[in-house]
Each structure stands twice: as structure tokens, then as C-alpha cells.
Amino acid sequence: MREKTVLVTGGARGIGAAVCDAFLARGARTAFTDIDEEVGKAREVELGGREKALFIKADASDKGDAERMVAEVVSAWGRLDVLVNNAGITRDALCARMEEGDFDSVVRIHLKGAWLCAKAAHKQMRAQGGGRIINTSSVSALGNVGQANYAAAKAGVIGLTKTLALEWARYNILVNAVMPGFIDTRMTVPLPEKVKAMLIEKIPLGRFGKPEELARLHLFLAGEGGDYITGQVLCADGGLTAGF
């Protein structure tokens, strides 16, 4: 990954942080965004400073921020080779009890945010002769109780991924999605132990995934292994959906 430049939205914590670590370990210059400036700046220092790891405070679902984050990466390093659309939130509730604002906010950050950031990256990638975009879906896209907003957004990400792959292949911009199962992050920490045990019983590998395991999938799609892969959804769920 040396000489490559990478932008990871929502990269200060969880899966995004692991993805940043993986690309940096392979020599890529890596920028990441978060809305929490204090956490982002501390993470930037931890990763070695702005020559290698550039923090950009930004809301991925805001058009101006999406365009600005790409511009800052290009200003710092001259190009953008890989965009990882990872930023996300959850606002879980049974559908009949879900507030309209919670539905809108989850769809906005996951789906609209991925669209806006991809559009902004497309301009630069097309000008430089190509690039990779990796979107983040979820096994919840197949349906999950209490997550009508999240499931709808993540299903939308799959449709967005396939459409962008078809439209942008001519520019050598490869667009794929990862579909994580249950990963051990701060989003799964609040789950009651009884619920975690029930979920683990359904996972053939018998455990939640690790963020660094998912990060290695991103490296594959961004590297030579992904040279002939576009419009695909790669599932990393410990076998959870194998029988679906």
C-alpha cells in the first residue's frame, strides 16, 4: 500500500480505527474523519501525526463536509486512491415505536453519507485514472428486529454499491461493499449478555468477529487481490448467514 492514500469515514473508533491501523501498517497515508474532534485529534497523535495520519472533523452526511474531506486529502497528498465509507450510528427501536427523527438520522448517515462521499471521491478518482470505494453494509440488511432504519439503510448501501460499480467501471473506479456480521465494537458492548449468548449460538464459528479481521478484508479489496472485483458484497459474519 505504499504510495497509496486512503480516506476512512468514521475512522476514530471501532471498525474504522482498525481499518486505519491496517492501512497504516502497510505504508499507506491514511486520513480519517469523525464528528468528535477531541477523540479524532488524540487518535491522530497516537498514529504518528499528520504526515502519515490526517484527522478531519467532518459529518459524512453533509455535502459540504464530504467535498471538503476529499479536498483536504488531495491538498495534503495529491491524490485519493481508496475511500472507505464506514461512518455510522444506530438508533434501535421496534418499528411501531421508532421516532421519525431516528429513522431519518440513521438512513442519512449510512446511505446518504455513503452516496455523498462516493460522489466527492469520484471526481478526484476519475481525474487521476481510477480508485477504489469500499462501502459498509451489514447482515442486518437481510432484516433484523428493532432495526428497521438500520436494515433499510444497509440494504440501500448494497443497491448503491452495485449501481456505482456499473456506472463507474469505465473510469477504473471499483466499488464494493463489505457485509459484517456481529463485530466486537462499542456498538455491540451494550447488548445484554443473554442476547450476546443467543447470537453466538447462531454463529457457526462461535464468536463475534474482531475489527482487525474485517480490516484485512478492506486491505484485500483495496489491493491487488481486488483488481478484478467490482459491484460485489463480501460477507464476513462467521458463517451466520450461510444457511439463509
**CATH value at residue 39:** 3.40.50.720
In a domain, 20, yes or no: yes
pLDDT of residue 1: 86
pLDDT tens, residue order, the chain (244 aa): 888 999 999 999 999 999 999 999 999 999 999 999 999 999 999 998 777 899 999 999 999 999 999 999 999 999 999 999 999 999 999 999 999 999 999 999 999 999 999 999 999 999 999 999 999 999 999 999 999 999 999 999 999 999 999 999 999 999 999 999 999 987 777 778 888 899 999 999 999 999 999 999 999 999 999 999 999 999 999 999 998 7
Q: Report the pLDDT value the prediction gives residue 114, as an integer from 0 to 100.
A: 98
107, part of any domain: yes
Would you call 171 a catalytic residue per the annotation? no
Q: In the Cβ-directed half-sphere of 229, how many Cα atoms lie within 13 Å?
A: 18
Instruction: Give the per-residue pLDDT at 62.
Output: 98
| Residues comprising the chain, all counted | 244
Instruction: Give the three cell numbers for residue 190.
Output: 451494550
Secondary structure class of 24 (helix, strand, coil): helix
Which residues, 6+ apart, have CB-to-CB distance to 36 below 8 Å?
12
DSSP assigned state of 142: G
Cell 450476546: give the residue.
Answer: 196
Report the DSSP beta bridge partners of residue 229: none
- Give the per-residue pLDDT at 163: 98
Given the residues 32, 55, 77, 150, the one annotated as active site: 150
Residue 195, pLDDT score: 86
| Three-state DSSP state, 7 | strand
The tally of CA atoms less than 13 A away on the side-chain side of residue 211 is 18
pTM: 0.96
Considering the domain boundaries, does residue 242 fall inside one?
A: no
Number of domains in the chain: 1
The residues pairing with 142 across neighbouring beta strands, listed in sequence order, are none
4 torsion bin: left (phi>0), alpha (psi -120 to 50), beta (else): beta
**Pair 122, 165: CB distance under 8 Å:** no
> Is the residue at 231 inside a domain?
yes
- Residue 243 counted as domain residue: no
Q: Which domain holds residue 195?
A: 5-236
Q: CA 201, 202, 205, 209: dihedral to nearest 10 degrees?
A: -100
Residue 197 lies in a domain: yes
- Is 220 part of a structural domain of the chain? yes
In a domain, 241, yes or no: no
Q: Please state, in angstroms and rounded to a whole number, the distance separating the CA atoms of residues 83 and 6.
A: 6
